[in-house]
Amino acid sequence: MGDTVPVQDKCAIVDTVSRIVKSRSGARLGFHEGHVLLGIILLEKEGPLGRKLLYRKLGVTETSARSLVRRLSAQGLVSVDRVAGAFLTERGEEAARLIRGYIKVERNGDGFVSSPSYVIALRDTLFNDEPVMNIRDMIISSGAREAVVAYVDGEASVPGLPPQHSLYRRIAEAAKKYMEPWSRGTVVFTSIDGGLSEAYRVAYILLRHRCWRERYC
């Protein structure tokens, strides 16, 4: 896959997840977009997984895990073996490869934000045509407490932070490291409670915002 992801491919992540979390008859779901992304990644790495193990890893109730698996199955992404548990179909494996080819979420200990901290890398997505405060506000409104945003486009920049600031070079170097092997995109260092699923939800919200702008603006 080349370094630039076609809009229709990267936004397919958003389209698929939005279908899975779409409310039916006003029912409130016990999982969100971040659980969907993390669930697919977990099933790719560790599947098949039984429902009890899956709900513990996702941090949702057993009932919510059952509902999530049912909806993933309805989209053709998951099959269930009555003994082994849930596993990705061929289509589900393709979805996992697309997610991994576009989104990276890791626990982070660089100290740029308070703990628990995560780093989110979005390949081939730049928000430098928007005020960085708008992007930070979006991240905070998604549940994060803090956020440092960096852009990588060959070189790295940290909008909103003066280049002479003592942390500028460290953040820029870390952003380039986390963006590898990709050469272009956005890196977010964020402090957020709730584990990896919440960080994946922030990644989804940023990706959804960018896809909307690329499609309609």
Per-residue confidence band for 213, with pLDDT thresholds at 50, 70 and 90 = confident
The string of pLDDT tens digits covering residues 59-68 is 999 899 999 9
Judged against a pLDDT cut of 90, whether residue 217 lies above it is answered with: no
Please give the backbone phi and psi of residue 86, each rounded to the nearest 5 degrees, phi first: -85, 140
> How far apart (Å, rounded) are the C-alpha atoms in residues 117 and 109?
7
Q: Are strands 78-81 and 85-88 parallel, antiparallel or unpaired?
A: antiparallel
How much is the CA Rg of the chain, to the nearest whole Å?
17
Question: Which CATH number is 102-216's, of 1.20.120, 3.30.1360, 3.30.2290, 1.10.3470?
Answer: 3.30.1360
The answer to whether 193 and 127 have CB atoms below 8 angstroms apart is: no
Q: What mean pLDDT comes out for the span 20-45?
A: 88
d(CA 187, CA 150): 5
171 Cβ neighbours under 8 A, 6+ residues apart: 112, 148, 150, 156, 158, 161, 189
Architecture (CATH level 2) of domain 7-98: Orthogonal Bundle (1.10)
Q: What pTM value is reported for the model? A: 0.91
* Mean pLDDT of the 12-21 span: 92
Annotated domain spans of the chain: 7-98, 102-216
Can you tell me the distance from the alpha carbon of 77 to that of 62, in angstroms, rounded to the nearest whole number? 19
pLDDT tens by residue, 68-97:
999 999 999 999 998 899 999 999 999 999
pLDDT at 39: 96
Q: What is the DSSP string of 143-195?
A: T-SEEEEEEEESEEE-TTS-TTSTTHHHHHHHHHHHHTT-SEEEEEEEE-SS-
- How far is it between the farthest Cα atoms of the chain? 59
Q: Are 194 and 157 in contact (CB under 8 A)?
A: no
Q: What is the mean pLDDT of residues 31-41?
A: 95
